Amino acid sequence: MQTTAEIAAQISAEFSLLENWEEKYDYLIEKGQNLPDMPDDLKSDEHLVKGCQSSVWFVTECREGRLYFQTDSDSLIVKGLAALLQELLNGQPAEAYQNVDLSLFDTLGFWRHLSSQRSNGLTAMVSFLKSAAEDCAAHHGA
């Protein structure tokens, strides 16, 4: 399995071909649209990430110290960002979540989703996943 750093480099390379904002968002939206929709009964408060302007859900599963997740959002942009997180992290060992380097999103130009507090989609999403990864590591270690 590729490391998160290798995957991040691939995503960066794909994005470097995109020339303007419209193309970048088009690409991101396509990433979101390609994710399967989550069944409505999984879109519960327990799986909802708090602190975002839009709703985003993660359903995580820990298997042999690796964390897997499915995700969905009512916002296609947020869903696209969540899809990138999935490409980057899905099935990685729990420790990889703790050390994930988010500078990828900065490089892509989606820094605004990292920095603004009211709609800090990415920061909130990553904290949610880190917390699940921590539980996963603790469970596996025990």
Catalytic site residue from 28, 52, 108, 132: 52
Q: Which of residues 54-113 bind another protein (CB under 8 A)?
A: 54-55, 74-78, 112
Write b or e for each residue in 69-81: b if 16 or more Cβ atoms lie within 10 A of its Cβ, otherwise e: bbbbbebbbbbbb
Binding to another protein by residue 53, rule CB under 8 A?
Answer: yes
Secondary structure of residue 93 in the 3-state scheme: strand
Catalytic residue list contains 52: yes
Binding to another protein by residue 27, rule CB under 8 A?
Answer: no
Binding to another protein by residue 38, rule CB under 8 A?
Answer: no
Cα separation, 1 vs 108, whole angstroms: 24
Binding to another protein by residue 13, rule CB under 8 A?
Answer: no
Helices (H) and strands (E) in the chain, counts: 7, 3
Q: How far is CA 32 from CA 23, 41, 62, 94, in A?
A: 14, 20, 23, 24
Using CB under 8 A as the binding criterion, the count of chain residues that bind another protein stands at 17
Binding to another protein by residue 26, rule CB under 8 A?
Answer: yes
- With contacts defined by CB under 8 A, name the span among 2-10, 48-56, 92-100, 132-140 that binds another protein: 48-56
Give the Cβ contact number of residue 94 at 10 Å: 21
CB of 76 to another protein, least distance (A): 5
- Residues at the contact surface with another protein, assessed by CB under 8 A: 20-22, 25-26, 29, 53-55, 74-78, 112, 118-119
Residues designated as active site = 52
